[in-house]
Amino acid sequence: HGADNPYERGPAPTQSSIEASRGPYAVSQTSVSSLSASGFGGGTIYYPTTTSDGTFGAVVISPGFTAYESSIAWLGPRLASQGFVVFTIDTLTTLDQPDSRGRQLLAALDHLTQRSTVRGRVDATRLGVMGHSMGGGGTLEAAKSRPSLQAAIPLTGWNTDKTWPEIQTPTLIVGADGDTVAPVSSHSEPFYQSLPSSLNKAYLELNGASHFTPNSSNTTIAKYSISWLKRFIDNDTRYEQFLCPLPRPSLTIEEYRGNCPHTG
Ligand code: 9J3
Ligand code: ZN
């Protein structure tokens, strides 16, 4: 671990290490059956295999409306191999709305830290939430109701509530320029604008992307999610270089907004 930061995990990052399909940690996985899950639908926990590196921060990820854990499964090993415990979940029913998905993300975090077989590997003080579409809407709900969360990342999030001034958790909003289900003009952009101006926050709009881009392996989503989780769950300022100065528009980035440098 770093001399100044007890939460730092893994080697110094490079552009290629955050873009790689796998990070430095070998990953194991374990299933959580719906029968053993209370308040959510079960799922899969991906975690660094090693027990020599102390505990890890953790993130729970919810799928979207009508979708299953499989729709966001690619993020499990991709993020866990960088040094996080990652819990991809099913919801109680595939029709659950964002407020319910938010409560389910929190129930899954509680399961992960208190009841799961890997609870001893998780630092219960360093937790985050992510989700796709209504799961992204639920990500905002979870952060609003549990301000101790350290990072939130809605992916092409959908919610009828457009205003999130209550959120105190560092939040990276990911939208897609071609999203016709949760258009950025009525979802991700107002979500971002409504977050407190003093909050560590960012808005990444994917270029040439759709509502369902987060359902397949995507290097732009991965590299900025890894950087955000590392920066705010692990307090790892080695990743600030990928977030500030703000990334410029590119083949995969339509637009990127944020407040740099990040604080805390
Ligand atoms: O989770 C989602 O894909 C939400 C978008 C949606 O289908 O909303 C319509 C009610
Ligand atoms: Zn609101």
For residue 237, give the 3-state DSSP assignment: helix
Please list, in sequence order, all residues whose beta carbon lies within 8 angstroms of the beta carbon of residue 228, skipping any fewer than 6 positions away: 151, 153, 170, 172, 202, 243
Q: What is the pLDDT of residues 113-146, one digit of tens each?
A: 999 999 999 999 999 999 999 999 999 999 999 9
Q: How far apart are CA 230 and CA 89, in angstroms?
A: 21
Task: Give catalytic residues, as residue numbers.
Answer: 133, 179, 211
In total, how many domains does the chain have? 1
pLDDT digits (tens, 9 = 90+) for 149-172: 999 999 999 999 999 999 999 999
| 91 within 8 A of 100, measured Cβ to Cβ | yes
Atom 10, ligand 1: residue with shortest CA distance: 65
- What pLDDT score does 2 carry? 72
Q: Answer whether residue 160 is part of any domain.
A: yes
- Asked if 176 and 152 touch (Cβ cutoff 8 Å), the reply is no
ipTM of the complex: 0.88
Measuring from atom 9 of ligand 1, which residue has the nearest CA?
181
* Residue 141's CATH number: 3.40.50.1820
Domain assignment present for 6 = no
1 occurs within a structural domain = no
Residues with Cβ within 8 Å of residue 132, at least 6 apart in sequence: 61, 62, 63, 64, 67, 71, 72, 155, 156, 214, 215
Tokens of residue 10, six digits: 């893994």
Question: Which residue, judged by its Cα, is nearest atom 7 of ligand 1?
Answer: 65
SS3 40: coil
For residue 55, give its domain range.
29-258
Residue 15 lies in a domain: no
If you measure from the C-alpha of residue 108 to the centroid of ligand 2, how many angstroms do you get, rounded to a whole number? 23
Alpha carbon of 65 to ligand 1 centroid (Å): 5
- Is 18 within the bounds of a domain? no
Q: What is the mean pLDDT of residues 66-74?
A: 98
- Rounded to whole angstroms, how far apart are CA atoms 72 and 90? 10
Q: What are the tens digits of pLDDT across the range 161-217?
A: 999 999 999 999 999 999 999 999 999 999 999 999 999 999 999 999 999 999 999
Ligand number nearest to the C-alpha of 143: 2
Does the residue 107 lie in any domain?
A: yes
Asked, for residue 63, whether it belongs to a domain, the answer is yes
Ligand 1 interacting residues, C-beta cut-off 6 A: 64-65, 133-134, 158, 181-182
Q: Does the pTM exceed 0.90?
A: yes
**Percent of the residues in the chain that have a pLDDT greater than 70, as a whole number:** 100
Sign of CA dihedral 93, 140, 169, 46: positive
> What is the three-class DSSP state of 137?
helix
* Sheet of strand 43-48, all strands in order from the earlier edge strand to the far edge: 27-32, 43-48, 85-89, 56-62, 122-132, 151-155, 171-176, 201-206, 253-258
Does some domain include residue 64?
yes
